[in-house]
Amino acid sequence: MAVVKSDIEIARAATKKPVFEIGAKIGIAPEHLVPYGHDKAKLSAQFIRSKRGARDGKLVLVTAVSPTPAGEGKTTTTVGLGDGLNRIGKKAIVCIREASLGPCFGVKGGAAGGGYAQVIPMEDINLHFTGDFHAITAAHNLLAALIDNHVYWGNALNLDTRRVTWRRVMDMNDRALRDIASSLGGVANGFPRESGFDITVASEVMAILCLATDLQDLERRLGDIIIGYRFDKTAVYARDLKADKAMAVLLKDAMQPNLVQTLENNPAFVHGGPFANIAHGCNSVVATTTALKLADYVVTEAGFGADLGAEKFFNIKCRKAGLQPAAAVIVATVRAMKMHGGVAKDDLGLENVAAVKAGCANLGRHMENVRQFGVPVVVAINHFSADTDAEIETVKNFVAAHGAEAILCKHWALGSAGIEELAHKVVSLAESGSAQFSPLYEDELSLFDKIETVVKRIYRGAEADADASVREQLRQWEAAGYGHLPVCMAKTQYSFSTDPHLRGAPVNHVVHVREVRLSAGAGFVVAICGEIMTMPGLPKSPSAERIHLNAQGLIEGLF
């Protein structure tokens, strides 16, 4: 067998084209691209406005089974399918999320695909890229500074400093900042209070940027952020602090989608990257809607498995942005099916057809779930070299028995040549016009009923459970006019239940809603079920210790 090249070796060996050539492929004139280096560019706001009346291409969602330590390759498949569609003559654009810088220094690993299905320049995309996340950090922390400054100068708004919900953010894995006491050190530094930092991708500003349709909408949503409560429990908004407009200034460039290319020189928009637990986990609405104006096909992904990622893509992003997905690809691997069937990670190398068969229950559940939204599905089996024919057939047969098709995809090893069959299938599904998309629940349903709808119909739990205080909080928000918002479920991604160890397709579990949070600017109510970490830590031996510049000045150790 040939020597397997690392992702970074493959990426470096690629023949990159100037970003202006990539833009030309989808009809963007050079004057509408703002370059960041020779291989990255932002689309001008003027160009995006000019396309408003154009006809939309077809939107394809790539989602996945419940993630396991075996890895599924959702971004890799998203990128591969984009290349595959271009290969068979369709004009296709890939839309994926930007990577968070902080986690790169914890555990080795990038977020730009892998093998022969990557977006490049991968080092840039995983580090500072075009500065969007830094701008989000700055805008978020400006609001935080204005809050404490307001209190310092007399607290005219009568803000209860114990009830300030707006924390600070940093794009770094730093557990020491999770809980802090600030404004220590005396009178000149303000009024001491408890606070803390989240990682930047968990910022509501990130979710807002990804759901805003343009700069005006962004500014309005920033103003709608609730930063805390007065002593009389009424909400204080970012607008009350006159912070919204300056925040929009800091986010002016970050709002514009970033154009890069795949290894096969096809266009990719990489823009935005909200958490997939306390936020909705999809790339920006602006990137997706703009791509739809420029291509026959737009291939995009959603975070985690379909129970979280696709559910939020449909119920939050598509609902709010008026998107009509034409088809969905569910990524599965033989290895993941084995783990869902009870095999331990160390035993994944051994053929185990029975475990694959058992684990397919997880896949079947996700297929049913996606179809509930009126979107036709196809399964992509992301090939690993140790997969046996019998195991692959088992997955194919399972999917066929459930009225769909599973297609073996070798894009990781072969690029677009390995994913042609899936591309054709996606086209036929999308062209069939069988999609009849609608969200799972109506805006008018009560907030708790929305939560319970997701619990029962997606997670297949017996019920949603919550303390009286949580239910009362939801009722208060309904009374305050927030009842029409969708819910954003924050739950472990590893199981349909709230127990991360419960793989496969559990039923009849109870989902306990521990806490609810109102993201009034983003426009959803977060239901937190279980422990959700919004500021990661670093491992004992972080990859930062090994990341370095080599003698040629190239980055090593990131991937």
Retrieve residue 498's tokens: 């709230």
Residue 108 touches its own copies, criterion: CB under 8 A? no
Q: Which is nearer to its own copies, 179 or 499 (CB)?
A: 179
Residues, the chain, total? 559
Among 179, 347, 443, 499, binds its own copies (CB under 8 A): 179
Residue 73 marked in a binding site:
yes
Contacting its own copies within 234-253 (CB under 8 A): 242-243, 245-246, 248-250, 252-253
Provide DSSP, 65-111.
Answer: SSP-TT---HHHHHHHHHHHHHHTT--EEEEEPPPPSGGGGTSS--S
Q: Catalytic residue, from 314, 398, 412, 524: name it.
A: 412
| CB of 229 closer than 8 Å to CB of 214 | no
Q: Give the pairing type, strands 113-114 and 117-120.
A: antiparallel
- Minimal CA–CA distance to 325: which of 112, 97, 56? 56
Binding mask 128-167 for its own copies (x = CB under 8 A): x--x--xx-xx--xx-xxx-xx--xxx-------------
Q: Using CB under 8 A, which residues numbered 525 to 544 contact its own copies? A: 537-538, 540, 542, 544
Annotated catalytic residue within 99, 212, 276, 302 = 276
Smallest distance from its own copies to CB 54, Å:
21
| Active site annotation includes 105 | no
Structure tokens of 174? 């730093």
Measured over the CA atoms of residue 110, residue 111, residue 117 and residue 122, the dihedral's sign is negative
Q: Kindly state the tokens that stand for 196.
A: 């803390």
Q: At residue 239, what are phi and psi to the nearest 5 degrees? A: -65, -35
CB 494 within 8 A of CB 313: no
**Of 145 and 400, CB closest to its own copies:** 145
Q: Where are any strands of DSSP class E within 97-171?
A: 113-114, 117-120, 159-164, 168-170
Q: How far is the CB of 172 from its own copies (least distance, A)?
A: 5
Choose, from 74, 293, 491, 503, the residue flagged as catalytic. Answer: 74
Number of residues that bind its own copies (CB under 8 A): 73
Binding mask 72-91 for its own copies (x = CB under 8 A): --------------------
Per-residue x/- marks for its own copies, 200-229, CB under 8 A?
---------------x---x----------
Pairing of the two strands 258-262 and 41-43: antiparallel
x-or-dash string of contact with its own copies, 11-50, rule CB under 8 A: -----------------------xxxxx------x-----
Window of 183-191, 279-287, 303-311, 383-391 that interacts with its own copies by CB under 8 A: 183-191
Q: Does 177 bind its own copies (CB under 8 A)?
A: yes
The answer to whether 108 is a known catalytic residue is: yes
Q: Looking at 76, 137, 394, 492, which residue is catalytic?
A: 76
Task: Please say if 76 is a catalytic residue.
Answer: yes
Inter-axis angle of helices 447-457 and 468-477, nearest 10: 120
Task: By CB under 8 A, tell whether 178 contacts its own copies.
Answer: yes
- Binding flag, residue 416, its own copies (CB under 8 A): no
**Residue 127 in the binding site for its own copies (CB under 8 A):** yes
Known active-site residue 5? no
What token pair was written down for 526?
A: 């977060």
Nearer to its own copies, 86 or 173 (CB): 173
Whether residue 47 lies in the annotated active site: no
532 and 523 Cβ atoms separated by less than 8 Å? no
- Residue 354 beta carbon to its own copies: minimum distance, rounded to whole angstroms: 39
Separation between Cα atoms, residue 12 and residue 93, nearest integer Å: 22
Closest to its own copies by CB, 132 vs 264, is 132
**Termini Cα distance of the chain:** 22
Does 97 participate in catalysis according to the annotation?
Answer: yes
* Residue 384 appears among annotated catalytic residues: yes
Decide if 380 is catalytic: no
Beta-strand (E) ranges in 294-370? 297-301, 325-332
Residues with Cβ within 8 Å of residue 220, at least 6 apart in sequence: 244
Stretch that binds its own copies, among 50-58, 83-91, 190-198, 301-309 (CB under 8 A): 190-198
Residues 6+ apart with CB under 8 A from 363: 65, 330, 332, 337, 340, 379, 395, 398, 399
Which residues fall in the annotated binding site for ATP?
68-75
* Binding annotation: 68-75
Q: Residues with catalytic annotation? A: 74, 76, 97, 108, 276, 304, 384, 412
